[in-house]
Structure 1
Amino acid sequence: MPKVGMEPVRRKALVDAAISAIGDQGTLAVTMSDIARRAGVSPALAHHYFGSKDQLLTETMRSLLRDLRRDTVSALAEADGPRARVSAIIRVSFHAGQFAPETVAAWLAFYTEAQRSEAVRRLLALYARRLHSNLTASLSQLCPKTEASRIAEATAALIDGLYIRRALGAAPLTTERSIALAEDAVDAALARLAPPQEKGSAA
């Protein structure tokens, strides 16, 4: 029988183990036995807590989204001004935990899984809406709302693209380099919208 009070600890251990297993194999085609072994529990106990591997994988993605949302809320609360809030969102997207190789691999595997799983597709759509909404809310204080939405969409696409490059090893992207690329794109987009006299005075 499961020990009283251990369920939250073991559920968290299983989610972490799922991320590790997916990261190592680069696919969601991992076994419950492998995940349970990494978490230090029996497969039977893993099934007791989650019912099935699909339920565990769905909870793993929810966990990633909760962590991302928690970090975003915290970073936004500390940011001073709309441009700083945009930077905070970008930094959180490439935070050490989110940009760790196994986490990036897990995100990429979930994107692949979304082609066949409605549940995963809905979770990814939720992530995309939150990212776009957070970016737009801050950018709309710096430029017209239609332009803010466009810049937010482009920035979100760049973040996703940098994740894919990181996952595939297509470029030696560090966290700092990824942040700098996203920041440069936002700065360039905002600069194109600045009135001529503002551009001149900035020079």
Structure 2
Amino acid sequence: MPKVGMPEIRKPQLIQATIKSIDEYGFSGATVNIISKNAGVSSAIINHYFGGKNGLLEETMKSLIREFFAILKKELKKGKNGNCIDRVMCIVRAGFSQSQMNPEIVKVWIGFWASAMHSPVFFRLQKLYSKRLHTALVVELKTALGRERARQVALMVASLIDGMWLRGSLDGKMNRSQSMLLIRQYLVLELN
């Protein structure tokens, strides 16, 4: 019988092992055996606590999404007294934060996005992530642009974040400052 509290101890360990395994073997190549070996646990633990690889991948993505929104919350708190562009750039900064641009994490996000097209669970998580990001952008933009125009600009900003992020990850070198500068220039054009 499992010990009480074991999932809380093992979860971060298994999530890190999953990220490491995806980095080494890709999203589909990271098997339960490889992940459990990287975590130093029995594969039965993964099956017991997560119902298998898909459950662990889902928990890993939830963890990364929670981390992103925690960073976003901190960035917005720092920029709460800024103007509209500054506050939107807080959201952009969260997307290009060091933790989100870590090469291991980039591979997990890329695998997640690709899998979202075929997995209802990942599709739902992707929709949730996109909707929350869009809402955060609209909230910051609507005071300057009105709700309808804010929705359009928020969609464009989210697309620019994703596009710069994807292009940088596929090129093997993300240029955080250039990406943020280009997005800021777009915002200046829209808001002036």
TM-score normalised to structure 2 length: 0.90
| C-alpha separation in 1, matches of 2:177 and 2:6 | 38
Gaps of 5+ in 1: 192-203
Call closer, same or farther: CA 1:68–1:184 in 2, change over 3 Å: same
Name the counterpart of 1:127. Answer: 129
Q: Residue 36 of structure 2 corresponds to which residue in structure 1?
A: 36
The aligned length equals: 190
The corresponding residue for 1:174 is: 175
Deviation at 1:66, TM superposition (A): 0.8
- Report the more deviating stretch, 46-55 or 79-88: 79-88
**More displaced, 88-97 or 15-24?**
15-24
Which deviates more from structure 2 when the two are superposed, residues 142-151 or residues 24-33?
24-33
Whether the 8 Å CA contact 1:28–1:113 is kept in 2: the answer is no
Deviations 1:32-71 (A, max 9, x none): 1111111222212222221210100111111111111111
- The CA distance in 1 between the partners of 2:163 and 2:24, in whole Å, is 21
Percent of counterpart pairs with the same letter? 36
Alpha carbons of structure 1 residues 26 and 190: separation in structure 2 relative to 1, 3 Å: farther
1:10 is aligned to 10
| 1:26 Cα deviation after fit | 3.4
Kindly state the Cα deviation for residue 2 of structure 1 after the two structures are TM-superposed.
Answer: 4.8
Written as runs of structure 1 = structure 2, the 5 A alignment for 1:1-203 is 2=2, 4-79=4-79, 80-81=81-82, 82-169=84-171, 172-191=173-192
Q: What secondary structure, in the 3-state scheme, does the structure 2 residue paired with 1:74 have? A: helix
Q: Distance in 2 between matches of 1:185 and 1:16?
A: 36
The structure whose residues are more often helix, as a share, is: 2
Q: Which has the larger radius of gyration?
A: 1
Structure 2: tracts of 5 or more residues without a match: none
User: C-alpha root-mean-square deviation of aligned residues, in Å?
Assistant: 1.8
CA distance in structure 2 between the aligned counterparts of 1:84 and 1:13, rounded to whole angstroms:
36
Displacement of 1:183: 1.8
What TM-score do the two structures reach when normalised by structure 1? 0.86
Distance 1:68 1:92 in 2: 7
Alpha-carbon displacement from aligned partner over 1:117-169 (angstroms, at most 9, x marks no partner):
11100100011111111011111112222221111101101111122112212
